[in-house]
Amino acid sequence: MPTNNYQMAAVGPAELISGLQAVGIKTFPATDVTSAVQRIVEIRQSDTAFACICVTESLMKQIDAETMEQISDNSLPVLLTIPDFHSDKNAGLDKLRNLTKRAIGSDILGE
């Protein structure tokens, strides 16, 4: 049975993501949306197989819908939002609520 060795990546300000190296996550510092998108494209085009790319919430919010569609057009790597200093405490729940609505057509999580 073949096995795939996937890596994880993190994109965001160095002071937030550098600690993730301790658990084996490859870090790609970015402080603005332009450099974040460049890093994501760089990771996706890399010879290394990445399963997911964690991007800080403040950077992810700044990526416009068209660019987001272009950089997340494949099943892998998955783009995940991770909290940062400016994160809304309900952001994760709101995103989950939106994904649930999209998947099943109803808000089963409620307000």
Q: What is the mean pLDDT of residues 26-50?
A: 95
Tell me the sheet residues that pair with 11. 28, 55
pLDDT beyond 80 at 19? yes
The CA-based dihedral angle spanning residues 42, 47, 48, 53, taken in that order and rounded to the nearest 10 degrees: 30
Judged by DSSP in three states, 29 sits in: strand
Cβ atoms of 79 and 8 within 8 Å: the answer is no
Condensed to tens digits (0 to 9), the pLDDT of residues 56-103 reads 989 998 999 899 888 888 778 999 988 888 776 676 677 777 777 777
Tell me the domains of the chain and their CATH numbers.
7-104 (3.40.50.10580)
